Amino acid sequence: MAVLLKALLDSGELQNVDITPLEKSSLGGVGVNTHLLYELVPPGTDALAPQNALIFGVGALVGTMIPTACRTEATAKSPLSGRFGSANSGGSFGPSLRFAGYSYLALLGRAPSPVMLVIDDSGARLENAEGLWGLTVWEATDSIKEQLGHDFSVLAIGPAGENQVRFASIQNDYFASFGRTGLGAVMGSKNVKAVAVRGSGSVDVADRGAFQKIRKEAFDRVKAEPSYGFMKRYGSMVAADPFDVMSSLPGRNFTVGSYPDWEKTRGRKAFESRYKERDVACFACPIACAHWSKVKEEGPHQGLATRGLEVTFVMEFGAKLDLVSIPEIFRCVDICNHYGMDVISAAGSVAFLIEAFNCGLISAEEIGFAPQWGNYDSISQLLLLIAKRRGIGCLLAEGVKHASAVIPGAQKLAMHVKGVEIPVKDPRAKCDTFTFGYLTNTRGGDSLRTRSPVEALLQGMQDYKTEPLGVDPAQIEKLDMPPRLKEEIFGGPPRGVNLPRMACYAENLITIVNSVGMCIRPPVLRSLGPDFYARALQAVTGESYDAESVYASAAAIWNLQHAFNVREGENESDYVYPDRFYEQSLPGREGKTVQPLSRTEVAENISGYFKARGWKS
Amino acid sequence: MADRPQISCDAVKCTGCRICMLACSWVNTKTHNPRNSFIRVDVNEKNFACRILLDTEKCRRCLSCVSFCPSGALQAVEAENMQEGGRSNGCTA
C-alpha cells in the first residue's frame, strides 16, 4: 500500500491517504509528485505562498534490495523559475520513510511558527522548531539527532532556506542535497525547518520468487557495466578530465573552455591521490561513488573533511569561478551544505557578479569589495552574503535572471535557461544530449534529466542532429530499450544518435528511474531499461507492467510536467540558450577556438524534439 | 554449524550501503526490514564511520551478507583462522 501523509500546516492536522491506485497509474516517485503538484497548485500561484505544495515521493522499489533503490524525489513549484520544480536525493531518508510505513509526504499551507515534522513508529507529529530556526543545517541536524536519536534520517533547511534564497536546497543528513530549483526556499516559506524519520516496519514484495531473480539480475548487470569500476574509483569525477579535453569547461562564467593546468590541479587523479580516503555509499548501493575525503596539507583548510568531490563541485567552483585549490572548492561546497544552497545556482550567481564587475556594470562600492576570479576570500564572502541575504547577496539570492534585470547591461552575462542557472558543461564544445537537456528539461537549465545511456564523453558532435555513438554498435543490440526506439534513434544498423529523439528517450528513461526510486549513475543508467523496470515493479507490487506501458507512463509524466509549465506561460520561445552561446566563440584547449552555436540549427533540433514529443509549437 | 565458515568484518572497508542487513532480513523473513537482520551496520552520517554488529548467537552463517557485500568488508573465514583474522576495525560480536 502506498500511503501519502498530508501535513496541513496551518491547522497542524495530519492525514493519511491511501494513494495506491495513483502510484500504479503513474509509476510512483516523481510520477506521483507530478500528478499531485498539478492538482494541488493552481496556475499563477506564488511559489513562496502557502498555496504551493512541497511533496516528497519515494518509489515502490525503495527499501528493497534492488541496487541503488534508495532515492527520494522532492517536488514543488519552483521559486527560481516559476515553473515545475523538482530535485532528487539519495542517502537513507527514502528507505527510512518506507520502513515507517509512508511513501509520500505533502507539506501544504504554512505553519504559524517554525515546526519540524517527526515520523516514527508511533506515527507522525508536528513539533515546535522555534529553537532550531536560524541554525545552520549542521547545527539543526545535530540537535535533532541528539534529541530524537541518531538513527533518525533528517532533512533540514539552513539559513538560505529560511531567508527564501530562490535556490536554497533541502539538505539530507548533512551532505546530500535536494539541490536544484529552490525547494529549500519553499520549505522555508512554509515554516518547516526539518523532517525527521525513523521506521522499523517491513517493505514487502508481492512475488518473492520473481523478486529474487530480478534482484540477482540487477546486481549482475550493474556490476558488469564497464563504468562500474570507474565510478567506484572516481565517482562522478570520472568526467572531470574529459570535460577539459573537450574544451567544454564552464570556465569563468562560460568564457574559458579549458585551463592549461586543469588535470594537474583539479583533475580526477589530483583529487584521488591527494584527498580521497575511502568509499561511501548511499543505502542499498553497491557502487559507492562518494568518497570520504580530507585535506591533509598545511594551510587554512587543513583537517577539513567532506563527502568527496563531485564533478559538479569542481566544475562550478573550480571551473566556473576558477578556484585552483581543491581545499578551497571543498570549503565553498561546505558553505553551501551548511547554509543550504544549491551549488550550481550559487556558483552561477557569484560568477555572474564577478563578470558584471569586470565589465564595469557594478562597482566595488556597490558590492562592498572587489570580487575576483579564483579568489577564495571574495567568493566565500559572496556565498555567505547570499545565504544571509545581506548587501549584494540579497540581489544575487534572487538568481541571475532577476539580478541581471536589475543591473543595467548585465542580461547577456546571465547564464540561465528558464530562470535556472545552467551547470557544468559548455554546449558550444559539446553539443550533445546532456547539454541539449538544458533547453528541454522541465525543471529549466539543467542536465540531470537528460543523460544518454550511450553517452560519448570524449567525442564532439557529428552534426547538430547527430551525436556519436558512445558504445560499440554491437552493444546497441544488448541495450534494454524497446526495439522500435532503437531503430528510430540509432538507425539500422546503428550509425549515430538522433539527438532530439534521444533527448526524449533519455528524459523518459530517467523519469522511470526517478519514479521507481533508483539512481541515474552510469552503471545503472547504461545497464537497465524499461523492460527491467517493468519486471521489477511487477515483482515488487504485483501489478501488471510491461516495457511499453512503463515507457508510456513516463512519457505521460513528462507531458504533465510540460503541461504544468505551459499553464504557467511557457512556450517554444523559452527553449533558448543564453545569447553568449550563439554569439561568442570560446577559447579552448591548446589554442583551439570553439565556434558559437547556430541559432537556426538549435531551433530546428527543438522543433524535432517537439515533434518527437507530439507537442504543438 | 560449527564447521561452517565464520564471518569476519572490517568496518574500515565498509561503505555503509547496508545491503548486508537487507540480505539477512530477506533470508530470515522474506521481507526487507533491517530490524530483522542479525547483522547491523550503524553509519555516522556526519563522517560515514561505520560500526558493524554481528549477532553471533542468532547468525546461522548462511553467508548471504558476505555474498552481497560489495566492498569486501565482510569475508567468510574458516573457524580456525578466526582469532587472528577475525572481527576487527570496529566490528562487534
CA distance readout (Å), A233 to A8, A238, A313: 45, 8, 17
Lowest mean pLDDT among A236-245, A274-283, A468-477, B21-30: A468-477
CA distance readout (Å), A434 to A307, A388, A449, A507, A607: 25, 33, 9, 10, 18
CB B17 within 8 A of CB A287: no
- Give me the mean pLDDT over the A11-39 stretch: 97
Q: Please say if the pLDDT value at position B90 is more than 60.
A: no
The strand pair at A123-128 and A290-294 is best described as unpaired
Which residue in chain A is spatially nearest to B44 when comparing CA positions?
Answer: A150
Q: Please say if the pLDDT value at position B92 is more than 70.
A: no
CATH number of A3-197: 3.60.9.10
- Kindly report, residue by residue over A507-541, the tens digit of the pLDDT: 999 999 999 999 999 999 999 999 999 999 999 99
- Kindly report, residue by residue over A87-120, the tens digit of the pLDDT: 999 999 999 999 999 999 999 999 999 999 999 9
Probe site for chain A from B32, B64, B67, B69 (most A CB atoms < 10 A): B32
What type of residue is B80?
E
Lowest mean pLDDT among A292-301, A312-321, A580-589, B80-89: B80-89
CB contact under 8 A, A99 and B33: yes
Q: Which residues is A108 bridged to in the sheet?
A: A8, A53
What type of residue is A15?
Q
Q: Which position has the grid cell 574509483?
A: A233
Domain spans, chain A:
3-197, 230-421, 433-613
Q: Please say if the pLDDT value at position A387 is more than 60.
A: yes
**pLDDT band (50, 70, 90) for residue B2:** low
Q: Please say if the pLDDT value at position B82 is more than 90.
A: no
What is the percent of chain A where pLDDT is above 90?
94
Residue B87, pLDDT score? 58
Q: What residues of chain A lie within 8 A of the CB of B13, using their CB? A: 278
Q: What residues of chain A lie within 8 A of the CB of B16, using their CB? A: 280-281
Q: Which long-range contacts (CB under 8 A, 24 or more apart) does A143-147 make?
A: A144/A116, A144/A194, A144/A196
Helical spans, DSSP H, in A208-342:
208-224, 227-234, 240-245, 251-254, 262-266, 268-274, 311-313, 326-339
Q: What residues of chain B lie within 8 A of the CB of A281, using their CB? A: 15-17, 70-71
Q: Which of residues 11-30 of B touch A (CB under 8 A)?
A: 12-13, 15-19, 22-23, 25-26, 29-30
Say yes or no: A149 contacts chain B, CB-CB below 8 A. no
CB contact under 8 A, A202 and B46: no
Domain that holds residue B47: 6-92
Residue A228, pLDDT score? 95
Phi-psi domain of A424 (left: phi exceeds 0; alpha: psi -120 through 50; beta: other) = left
Q: Please say if the pLDDT value at position A431 is more than 60.
A: yes
The residue that leads in pLDDT, B87 or A480, is A480
Grid cell for residue A588: 579552448
CB B10 within 8 A of CB B73: yes
- Kindly report, residue by residue over A143-183, the tens digit of the pLDDT: 999 999 999 999 999 999 999 999 999 999 999 999 999 99
- Kindly report, residue by residue over A342-356, the tens digit of the pLDDT: 999 999 999 999 999
What is the percent of chain A where pLDDT is above 70?
100
Domain tally, chain B: 1
Average pLDDT, chain B: 87
Cα end-to-end span (Å), chain B: 17
What type of residue is B93?
A
The strand pair at A84-89 and A72-77 is best described as antiparallel
Domain assignment present for B1 = no
**pLDDT band (50, 70, 90) for residue A470:** confident
Residue A616, pLDDT score? 83
CATH number of A433-613: 1.10.599.10
- Kindly report, residue by residue over A194-226, the tens digit of the pLDDT: 999 999 999 999 999 999 999 999 999 999 999
**pLDDT band (50, 70, 90) for residue A232:** very high
CB B19 within 8 A of CB B68: yes
Domain assignment present for B21 = yes
Residue B85, pLDDT score? 45
Q: How many CB pairs under 8 A join A and B?
A: 79
User: Which positions ≥6 away from A178 have C-beta within 8 Å?
Assistant: A72, A74, A87, A88, A89, A155, A169, A170, A171, A172, A184
CB contact under 8 A, B45 and A64: no
- Of A407, A402, A368, A363, the C-alpha closest to A385 is A368
**Residue A273 CB neighbours (<10 A):** 9
CATH number of A230-421: 1.10.569.10
Q: Please say if the pLDDT value at position B93 is more than 60.
A: no
CB A272 within 8 A of CB A328: no
For A216, which DSSP code?
A: H
Lowest mean pLDDT among A438-442, B16-20, B53-57, B77-81: B77-81
Which helix H or strand E contains A116, and what residues bound it?
A: strand A115-120
Q: What residues of chain A lie within 8 A of the CB of B26, using their CB? A: 65
What torsion do the CA atoms of A245, A251, A255, A257 make, to the nearest 10 degrees?
Answer: 0
Say yes or no: A148 contacts chain B, CB-CB below 8 A. no
Residue B91, pLDDT score? 59
**Which of B18, B30, B45 has the CB atom closest to A173's CB atom?**
B45
The ipTM (two decimal places) reads 0.94
**pLDDT band (50, 70, 90) for residue B81:** low
Q: How far is A205 from chain B (nearest CA, A)?
A: 7
CB contact under 8 A, B34 and A285: no
Q: Please say if the pLDDT value at position B3 is more than 90.
A: no
> Which CATH number goes with the domain that contains B70?
3.30.70
Say yes or no: B42 contacts chain A, CB-CB below 8 A. yes
Which residues of A407-542 form beta strands (DSSP E)?
416-417, 420-421, 466-467, 497-498
User: Which positions ≥6 away from A441 have C-beta within 8 Å?
Assistant: A417, A447, A448, A449, A450, A507
Which residue in chain B is spatially nearest to A99 when comparing CA positions?
Answer: B33
Residue A357, pLDDT score? 98
Q: Please say if the pLDDT value at position A269 is more than 70.
A: yes
**Which of A91, A286, A305 has the CB atom closest to B19's CB atom?**
A286
